[in-house]
Chain A
C-alpha cells in the first residue's frame, strides 16, 4: 500500500451540505483525514453520520460544498481502486443467490475496470481469508449469519487492497468474536498504512486503533479531536454508569454536552 506523500489529505470535505427531500441532513460539515489516521465518526441516531460517509463516496449528491478523495474531486478522476467502502449491512437479500466469493469479487471492479482480472478467484479468496471466511467462499451469502455477511462486505472492500477504507457501522449487530477478529484485521492493515474513516455507534473493540474522533450532532460537527476514553464493559466489576445528571463524571470528552446519552459510547 502506498499512501500519498506530502500534506494532501486523503479525505478533504469542505462545507458539505446534503438535503434529502425537504429536510437538510448535513449543514456545512468540514472533515479532513490525513494519511494513516483512523478517524471514528460518532453521533446519535439521525445525526447524519451515514449521510456524511454516503455523500463522501458519491452515493448521495451534494447540495453544497466540495469533497476531494485522494486529491481528486469526487467523480471519474478519483482513483477508486484505492478506496474501499463498506456499507451498513442490508438484511434484504436479492432475488438471485450469490456466493460469498462472487460478492467479494465484485470489489475487484472499479472506475473503468468493468471485467474481472484473470485470477479473480484467488484474489477474492485472499480477501475472504483476511476476514476468516475462506472456507465459506462457495456458500450462498443468504446461508451466512449476520456477522458473517458483514465480514463478506468488508472482504469485498478489501479485495482491491485499498489505501483508504470508509466503513459505515461495520460492527453493528456483530457478535463479540467477529468484532475482535475484525479489530485484529484492521490493526494489521493500519500498521501497513491504511487510512480509515469509520462510523461507529460505540468505539468497542476498535477503541485502541482510533486516533481521532469526529462527533456529529444535527448535521454539524460538534467535536473533532481526541477520542473518548474507552469505558469499562458492562460486565466488568468496577463498571460505572455515567449519567447525564451526574456532574462528577468528567471524561476527556464532555459527553453530556454532546447529546450522546442515548446509546452513546459511555453507558
Chain B
C-alpha cells in the first residue's frame, strides 16, 4: 500500500475529515489571538481561561444531568463558552483596576477553575475521567454539531482578530497612547479577552484545556525568531499553527498517540529547530553606526584620538584637564 493510498483513506474517513477541519480552524485562530496576548505580556491568559472553562464544562454537565439530557455532556461546550467568556472579562476588569493584583486574581481563577470543575463533576454524577477528555482533548469524538459550533466560533474570532487588527495592535502596543487617541480602550480590551475565551473553547476539543495556551503562544514564539514586524509575526504564526495542527493530527491517524500532545510537541520541536538553524540562515547584518554624522569626542587614555580633535591634543593621559 502506497503513501498516497494511505492519505486517501485518511481524507475519506468522515471522522478524520471532521477532525482535520477542527484542527485547521484551531491552528489558524489560536496563534492570531496569541499574537495579541504575547504583545500584551498576557501569555498565560489562555491557561487561566482554560481552567475556568473546566468549571463551565462541569456546570454544563450538571445542568444537562439535571434536565435528563442524553448524552449527559450535551451542554458541556456551551457551559465552557459561557464560563470562559465570563472568566476572561473578569480577568480583564481586574487587570484594568491595577497591575499589581492582576497576578493574584489570575492565580485565584486558575485554582478555583480546576477545583470547581472537579467538585461539580462529582456532584453531577460524573467522574474525573469524564473531565479528562476536556483536559487533554478528544478530537476523535467531534460530532457534526460540535464542528458547526467550532466553525461559528472560529469565524467570530477571525472577524474580530483580523478586522480590528490595527485597533487591537494599538491598544496592545501602548494602551496609554490609545486612551490619549480617544479609542474605546475598554471595549477593545474586552474584545481581546472574549476572543481569547472563544479560542480556548474552540481549541478545547482538539488539544484539551491544559494545552490550549501552547497553541496560542508557541507558534508566535517561533514566528518571533524570524520576523521583524507585527503583521508578519501574526502571519507566520498562523502558518506554523495550521501546519503543526494538521500534520500532528495526521500522524495520529497511523500512530495511536494523543493528538493534542503530538501537536504541541511538534510545535515545540519546530521552535527548537528554527532557533537552532536561525543563526545559519539569517543574513548577518553588518554592524552599522546608527549616528555616523556625530563626531566621536569620547577620548580613551592610551588610544589615538579621533580625527578632528587632534589640534587640541597633546599626549593623552599626561595633561590633567582638571589641573589646568
Contacts and interface: CB of A to CB of B under 8 A. Distances in A.
B167 A114 contact: yes
A140 interface: yes
B180 A99 contact: no
A110 B176 contact: no
Interface stretch (B140-148, B228-236, B242-250, B311-319): B228-236
Interface in A57-101: 57-59, 76, 78, 80, 83, 85, 87, 94-99
A170 to B, nearest CB: 14
Interface residues on A, range: 35 or more
A138 interface: yes
Given A97-B229, A102-B229, A110 B174 contact: no
A103 B290 CA distance: 20
B298 to A, nearest CB: 13
B324 to A, nearest CB: 13
A175 B176 contact: no
A83 B39 CA distance: 26
A139 interface: yes
Interface residues on B, range: 35 or more
B183 A114 contact: yes
Given A54-B176, A97-B227, A111 B233 contact: no
A99 B166 contact: no
A109 B181 contact: yes
A177 interface: yes
B293 interface: yes
B39 A107 contact: no
Nearest to B182: A80
A114 B166 contact: yes
Interface in A100-122: 102-103, 105-112, 114-116, 120
A114 B117 CA distance: 38
Contacts of A177: 291, 293-294
Interface in A143-195: 143-145, 148, 156, 166, 175-177
Contacts of A87: 174, 176-177, 180
A64 B323 CA distance: 56
A199 to B, nearest CB: 14
B37 to A, nearest CB: 9
B72 interface: no
Interface string A226-265: 0000000000000000000000000000000000000000
Interface string B30-68: 000001001111010000000000000000000000000
A76 B182 contact: yes
Nearest to B188: A114
B164 A96 contact: no
Contacts of B220: 96
B230 A97 contact: yes
B290 A139 contact: no
B167 A94 contact: no
Q: Is the interface of B mostly helix, strand, loop or mixed?
A: helix
B177 A106 contact: yes
B181 A111 contact: yes
A110 B177 CA distance: 10
Nearest to B223: A96
A21 B166 CA distance: 33
Contact of A96 (B39, B178, B293): B39
A108 B231 CA distance: 17
Given A97-B233, A116-B166, A138-B229, A107 B294 contact: no
Given A59-B179, A96-B224, A175 B291 contact: yes
Contacts of B151: none
A148 B38 contact: no
B103 to A, nearest CB: 17
A99 B179 CA distance: 21
A99 to B, nearest CB: 4
B170 interface: yes
Contacts of B231: 102
Contact of B179 (A57, A143, A145, A148): A57
B173 interface: yes
B134 interface: no
B290 A109 contact: no
A109 B183 contact: yes
A58 B163 CA distance: 26
Interface string B173-208: 110111111111000100000000000000000000
B287 to A, nearest CB: 11
Given A99-B230, A115-B167, 4 more contacts: A76-B182, A109-B183, A112-B184, A144-B290
Interface of B: 35, 38-41, 43, 163-164, 166-167, 169-170, 172-174, 176-184, 188, 220, 224, 227-231, 233, 290-291, 293-294
Interface of A: 54, 57-59, 76, 78, 80, 83, 85, 87, 94-99, 102-103, 105-112, 114-116, 120, 138-140, 143-145, 148, 156, 166, 175-177
25 contacts: A58-B180, A87-B177, A87-B180, A95-B43, A96-B220, A96-B230, A97-B227, A98-B169, A102-B230, A106-B166, A106-B173, A106-B174, A109-B166, A109-B167, A109-B170, A110-B183, A111-B182, A114-B183, A120-B166, A138-B228, A139-B228, A140-B228, A140-B229, A144-B290, A175-B294
The 4 A-B pairs at the shortest CB distance, nearest first, are namely A80-B182, A85-B180, A57-B180, A106-B170
